[in-house]
Every structure is written in C-alpha cells, then in structure tokens.
Amino acid sequence: MNAIEVRQLTRRFGDFTAVDDLSFSVGRGEIFGFLGSNGAGKSTTIRMLCGLLRPSSGTAVVGGVDVGADPEGVKRRIGYMSQRFSLYEALTVDQNITFFGGVYGLGRERLEARRAFVLEMAGLRGREKTLTRTLSAGWRQRLALGCAILHEPPIVFLDEPTGGVDPLSRRRFWLLIDQLADEGITILVTTHYLDEAEHCHRIAVIDAGRLAAMGTVAELKQLLAGRPIVEVRAGEPVAAMRALEAMPEVEKTSMFGTTVHAVLRAAGAAPGHLVGRLQEAGVAVSSCEVVEPSLEDVFLDLVERSAS
C-alpha cells in the first residue's frame, strides 16, 4: 500500500481554485518533492493531507486513513512542519520538546527517550535551557523537525523547511531527511531551492494548482529532450539575451546568474552559428556551448509555458 494516495484533490476558496484536480501517490520511504512558484497551491495541498483543511472534492488517503473522513486519525499518524516554524519562541528548547510531547500524548518514559533523540539529532545537547528565539535559524529548524517527529510518525510533511537557513545548515538538514527516508519514513517536502529538489526521489511540479509534471529528476529533464540548451557567456548578458531572442531557432531565453540559457526549438542548430550572429549583433561572446538541462531549466520551461 502507498503511504499517500491522492485522487482528484481540489480546494476552492470562493470562486478561486487553489488546488485543481491533483492526483499522485507516494510510496513508503520515498522523498517526494513539491516544486512550484509562490501561490501554486503547495501549502494548501499539504494542509489538506494533514487533516487541517477540508478538500472541496477528491480524496486523499494518508497512512491508510481517509483525510476527509477522519482528519483526527490522520493527525496522529503524521508529522508536520509548517511553513512558519511551529515552535514557541518564548519557551526553551526543553520546554518546546515537553510541550510537543504533551500534544502527541507521549508518556514520561517515551518522552525522555525521544527528548534524548531530538537533542542528539538536532545537535542541541548543552542548549536545553536556551530560549528558542535566541537560537540561530539552523538550530531552530532542526528543533522544529525534531518536535514534528517526536511521536515517530511514519509520514512527515515539511513545508519549506529550509527557508532562511544558511547553506551549511541546509546540507545538514538534508542528511537528516535522507536518514529518515532510509528508516522507511515517507517524506513530502516543498522547497524553492532546486539544488535541494535533486535530493528527492520524485518531484511533482505544481503550477496554478495543477500538476504540471511528475517524475524523477532524470525523467523531468527528458521533457527538454530534442530542445537543446545553449549556454552563452557574454560581456553584456542582457544584450546577448535580446539578440538570441530575435533568432528564429531560439524558443526562449532565461538568465542564470551572469550567463544566458537559450532553449532551441530543435536539435541541429550549431552553437557556432549563434556565435557568428551574436557577434554581428555587436555582442562580445566569451563562450557558447550546449549544456545538459538543469532542473531549473525544466522548471522554468514548465512554469513559463503554462503561464503563456
């Protein structure tokens, strides 16, 4: 049986459809990523899967429990880290753990065992009496994860867990996620960092409430098969972008830092031709080559295509 089974899940707010006919399933021990622009409907979907928000239509079965029929039953079987960390800032590390232990109804012995686990996992030993609001974002994030899994849920929902956290802490956090998945825990996670999305076993790209694409990173990259990406470095990237966009074989361009990626309409156009014409247009090109598509190329392609 799948850990999460979603069928035609829909949520409307008045006339506005925030989540539109979503269907997908997530296997046990899978790290499943949700990618989408701001307002795509990721948090709304997660809140429905956690039994916090009623679906307008469709069904979701999480850990064998139908979220519409038994939202309380779902809450007991899952861990949830909301987009705004759900810790109490005015409490100490220890007090937060005790508080969440109470919420999940842990007995004293189990709470103490789990407290030791969380302090270890989060690297917070020795900081038990520290006020949560004075912890750095990385510690707070690991404590929030620990509190969300105090009751050892088999399924965990993480809504943008790494927002505002430095790269080193993000790495450390993803090591924890990988460990949880290795233990058979199912993780559904949203992120805006595409490098993080590469950790996910499978990814769903959500755009305006709908499923735009789903698959492994390799499968998603296949969506650009037959449309090569040419990476151009030039003295003036904006001028290069304009010149590329005027060329008939270029479908579209996007800026990647100081380089420009051009998606070609078809394979075959040699980058050398592009260089010649860029130079004719007065653009000083330092390099121009076909590159493997990144997840960001795929994401921009999917999201822009549906917006136009």
Residues in contact with Mg ion by CB under 5 A are: 42-43, 83
Q: Using an 8 Å Cβ cutoff, are 206 and 284 in contact?
A: no
Q: Which of 199, 207, 213, 196 is nearest to 298 (CA)?
A: 213
Q: Using an 8 Å Cβ cutoff, are 157 and 188 in contact?
A: yes
d(CA 61, CA 5): 5
Which residue is associated with the tokens 């549906």?
A: 306
Judged by CB under 6 A, the residue of 4, 40, 143, 223 near ligand ATP is 40
d(CA 20, CA 56): 10
39, interface contact from ligand ATP, Mg ion, none, CB < 5-8 Å by kind: ligand ATP
Residue 19 is given by DSSP the state E
Q: Using an 8 Å Cβ cutoff, are 229 and 244 in contact?
A: no
55 binds ligand ATP per the rule CB under 6 A: no
Give the nearer residue to Mg ion in terms of CB position, either 83 or 95: 83
Question: At what angle are helices 271-280 and 237-245 packed, to 10 degrees?
Answer: 110
What is the phi/psi pair of residue 164, to 5°? 75, 15
253, interface contact from ligand ATP, Mg ion, none, CB < 5-8 Å by kind: none
41 binds ligand ATP per the rule CB under 6 A: yes
**What is the smallest separation between the CB atom of 305 and ligand ATP, expressed in angstroms?**
18
SS3 198: coil
43 binds ligand ATP per the rule CB under 6 A: yes
Give the nearer residue to Mg ion in terms of CB position, either 159 or 301: 159
Q: Which stretch binds ligand ATP (CB under 6 A): 41-49, 109-117, 118-126, 212-220?
A: 41-49
Two tokens at 39?
């307002």
Q: Which of 122, 147, 146, 150 is nearest to 136 (CA)?
A: 122
CB atoms within 10 A of CB 126: 9
Give the nearer residue to Mg ion in terms of CB position, either 38 or 308: 38
AA identity, residue 162: T
d(CA 162, CA 169): 8
Judged by CB under 6 A, the residue of 8, 27, 39, 291 near ligand ATP is 39
Q: Using an 8 Å Cβ cutoff, are 233 and 258 in contact?
A: yes
Judged by CB under 6 A, the residue of 36, 161, 228, 271 near ligand ATP is 36
164 binds ligand ATP per the rule CB under 6 A: no
Give the nearer residue to Mg ion in terms of CB position, either 43 or 96: 43
51 binds ligand ATP per the rule CB under 6 A: no
Looking at residues 75 to 94 of the shown chain, list those that interact with ligand ATP (rule: CB under 6 A): 83
Q: In Å, how far from its chain's centre is CA 130?
A: 30
Q: Which stretch binds ligand ATP (CB under 6 A): 34-42, 107-115, 171-179, 290-298?
A: 34-42
**What is the smallest separation between the CB atom of 1 and ligand ATP, expressed in angstroms?**
27
284 binds ligand ATP per the rule CB under 6 A: no
**What is the smallest separation between the CB atom of 161 and Mg ion, expressed in angstroms?**
11
18 binds ligand ATP per the rule CB under 6 A: yes
Which residue is associated with the tokens 């007090």?
A: 95
40, interface contact from ligand ATP, Mg ion, none, CB < 5-8 Å by kind: ligand ATP
Q: If binding means CB under 6 A, how many residues of this protein chain bind ligand ATP?
A: 11
Contact residues for ligand ATP, defined by CB under 6 A? 13, 18, 36, 38-44, 83
